[in-house]
């Protein structure tokens, strides 16, 4: 995830949203000159089937590429420049083009561990040569948890991300290939090549934190006994589009996943505003997908963001859009604007801490928004921001997309804290078979180790180049607070 803050969406980016009269009786509208091939989300009324919407799409000269009747959502492509207006009417609740709504995943810098260093690394009680550099694992009592269980192979964690390297020696045995798929374009593709990484190793790094094998090769995951499924939602340009996320949540729901990890946000404006005409259909479609998957037993875990932003007091967004499609704008925002999926109801939202257990300088926060915290790395705290100490990041599995080689390396971000929480949730689901998503979320919070707010204005990086107050933050709350939620997730406490 990326830097935050915003303004009203530019009118030029919006397509007519279909508030006018529509043609009825199946009569096709008069043909107009073809426009660009555009993807749309078409939503039927809540609780209704998509039958009428399907008919309207056909009459408006659209082609359905994915039909999610479970939630009343269609993914449609059309070259009709008046499609949004033409499709409106009975059986269609809302429609929006997703052009320009791809959010860039924040890659962060990957610092790879030299192969010779891996070979020379000393062993460890886990049997993993690089475990001694995984300061994050003892922080959440992973060794103690593994003495009880490493997790059940019946528990599958969906990694909604950029794909997972199926040839990585720490992950090859850990991937549920029969439950892995690409969801790019909102369309399922189950070929192994489709769900492997192409231009990003973000998903491979996340997957290693969750479930890297104990096999004497590299690192260990929080829950090495469980399986991960690659659900590719990040395209080769590094963008996540709403239709891919909807597909991912539905795929997880229909394939028995117990947990998903979501280290991203949807929409290049980090806050999705439900009162914005263009963004509202995205919120509705994604929320329906999340609710449906929760009803099928899936708990979603998401990162809070890397903007050092108080999500409980939203007023300005001055760091969006993040997809490079337009200059960064400034917009006023309010409580109708939410990080999606992190602030969707029932989703466990995770902030990040560094090796001391204090909030990472970049981590977003917010009372009533952050549910728990977990290690995400903080490479700047030792020097007050002047320089990076790379080993204070999170060490996990990597895939060099240039050389097409597997390895291990460091990243930092709430993208790294979220999979720690997802791994703990997977251990909990293993130890408590049949637990429902609500009870699983409650268990994560109730077993978390409370972290106290620091006094006054918090800023561990006053020497950072962005300026002495660029990362000022103030924590509010008591035992449960805006920086850490209920506290640090604890792997042992959920399984003992």
Domains annotated for the chain, with CATH where assigned, are 15-99 (3.30.70.80), 111-474 (3.40.50.200)
- The contacts found for 175-181 with CB under 8 angstroms, 24 or more apart, are 175/207, 175/227, 175/228, 175/229, 175/230, 176/227, 176/228, 176/229, 179/227, 179/229, 179/255, 179/256, 179/257, 180/229, 180/230, 180/231, 181/229, 181/230, 181/231, 181/232, 181/251
Phi/psi for 97 (5° steps) reads: -70, 145
- The residue from 86, 136, 141, 161 that is catalytic is 161
pLDDT digits (tens, 9 = 90+) for 168-194: 999 999 999 999 999 999 999 999 999
User: What's the distance, Cα to Cα, between the start and end of the chain in Å?
Assistant: 33
- Specify the pLDDT at position 466: 96
User: What's the confidence (pLDDT) of residue 273?
Assistant: 75
Q: Output the DSSP codes for 68-112.
A: ETTTTEEEEEE--TTHHHHH-BTTB-EEEE-TT-PEEP-----EE
Q: Are 107 and 271 in contact (CB under 8 A)?
A: no
Q: Which of 351, 402, 355, 407 is nearest to 380 (CA)?
A: 355
Token pair belonging to 413: 């971000």
Task: Say whether 415 is catalytic.
Answer: yes
Query: Which one of 78, 200, 307, 415 is the catalytic residue?
Result: 415
Annotated active-site residue 236? The verdict is: no
For the chain, list residues with pLDDT below 70. 1-33, 100-111, 115-126, 267-272, 318-329, 331, 334
DSSP category for residue 11 = G
Nearest to 457 by CA among 475, 444, 443: 475
Give alpha helix (H) positions in 98-168: 115-120, 136-139, 142-146
Q: What is the pTM of this model?
A: 0.89
Residue 438: burial class (beta carbons within 10 Å; 0-12, 13-18, 19+): exposed
Active site residue 202: yes
**32-83 tens-digit pLDDT:** 568 899 999 999 999 999 999 999 999 999 999 999 999 999 999 999 999 9
Cα–Cα distance for residue pair 289/301, rounded to 1 Å: 14
Q: What pLDDT sits at residue 332? A: 73
Q: Give the DSSP letter of residue 240.
A: E
């Amino acid at each position: 995830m990326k830097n935050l803050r915003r303004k009203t969406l530019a009118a030029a980016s919006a397509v007519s949203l279909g508030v006018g009269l529509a043609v009825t009786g199946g009569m096709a509208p008069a043909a107009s000159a073809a426009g660009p091939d555009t993807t749309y989300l078409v939503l039927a009324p809540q609780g209704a089937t998509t039958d009428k919407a399907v008919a309207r799409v056909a009459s408006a000269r659209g082609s359905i590429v994915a039909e999610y009747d479970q939630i009343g959502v269609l993914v449609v492509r059309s070259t009709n420049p008046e499609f949004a207006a033409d499709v409106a009417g009975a059986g269609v609740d809302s429609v929006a083009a997703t052009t320009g709504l791809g959010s860039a995943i924040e890659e962060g810098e990957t610092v790879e561990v030299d192969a010779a260093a891996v070979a020379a690394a000393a062993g460890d009680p886990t049997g993993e040569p690089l475990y001694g550099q995984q300061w994050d694992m003892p922080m959440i009592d992973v060794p103690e948890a593994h003495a009880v269980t490493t997790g059940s192979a019946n528990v599958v964690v969906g990694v909604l991300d950029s794909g997972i390297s199926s040839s990585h020696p720490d992950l090859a045995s850990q991937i549920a290939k029969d439950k892995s798929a690409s969801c790019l374009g909102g369309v399922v593709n189950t070929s192994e090549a489709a769900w492997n990484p192409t231009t990003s190793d973000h998903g491979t790094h996340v997957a290693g934190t969750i479930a890297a094998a104990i096999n004497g090769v590299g690192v260990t995951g929080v829950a090495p006994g469980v399986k991960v499924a690659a659900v590719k939602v990040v395209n080769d340009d590094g963008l996540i589009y709403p239709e891919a996320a909807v597909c991912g949540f539905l795929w997880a729901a229909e394939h028995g996943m117990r947990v998903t990890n979501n280290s991203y946000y949807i929409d290049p404006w980090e806050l999705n505003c439900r009162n914005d005409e263009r963004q509202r259909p995205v919120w509705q479609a994604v929320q329906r997908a999340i609710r449906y998957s929760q009803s099928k037993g899936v708990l979603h875990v998401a990162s809070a963001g890397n903007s050092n932003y108080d999500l409980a007091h939203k007023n300005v967004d001055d760091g969006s859009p993040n997809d490079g499609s337009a200059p960064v704008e400034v917009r006023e925002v309010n409580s109708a604007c939410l990080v999606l999926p992190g602030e969707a109801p029932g989703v466990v939202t995770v902030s990040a801490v560094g090796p001391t257990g204090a909030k990472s300088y970049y981590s977003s926060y917010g009372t009533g928004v952050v549910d728990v915290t977990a290690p995400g790395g903080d490479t700047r705290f030792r020097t007050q921001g002047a320089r990076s100490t790379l080993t204070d990041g999170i060490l996990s599995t990597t895939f060099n997309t240039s050389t097409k080689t597997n390895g291990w390396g460091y990243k930092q971000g709430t993208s790294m804290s979220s999979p720690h929480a997802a791994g703990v949730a997977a251990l909990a689901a293993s130890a408590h078979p049949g637990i429902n998503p609500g009870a699983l979320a409650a268990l994560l919070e109730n077993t978390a180790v409370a972290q106290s707010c620091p006094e006054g204005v918090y800023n561990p990086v006053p020497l950072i180049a962005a300026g002495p107050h660029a990362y000022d933050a103030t924590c509010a709350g008591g035992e449960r607070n805006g920086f850490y939620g209920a506290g640090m997730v604890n792997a042992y406490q959920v399984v003992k």
